[in-house]
Amino acid sequence: MIKIKLSDLLGKHKMTQKALADMTHIRPATVSKMYYEEVKRVDIKQLNNICKAFNCEISELLEFIPDEKE
């Protein structure tokens, strides 16, 4: 599973979803879906713009969590 840590970054930088949407030119609805981890796919350009906005590495935005075997 891939965890999107956008809520952590927004909190750390004291930024709203709207401000991020305006800064990155990503639709507010898309930012919201990323925030709540409801997005099905993410565009590379969007990830690039978010990393630029926060001046961060992709690993600070996305995290791989192995699925537990049953």
Domains along the chain with CATH numbers: 2-64 (1.10.260.40)
pTM of the model: 0.89
Beta-carbon contacts of 35 under 8 Å, excluding residues fewer than 6 positions away, are 4, 6, 7, 10, 17
Give CA–CA dist 41/39, Å, rounded.
6
- pLDDT, one tens digit per residue, over 7-24 is 999 999 999 999 999 999
Percent of the chain with pLDDT over 90: 93
Statement: residue 69 has pLDDT above 90: no
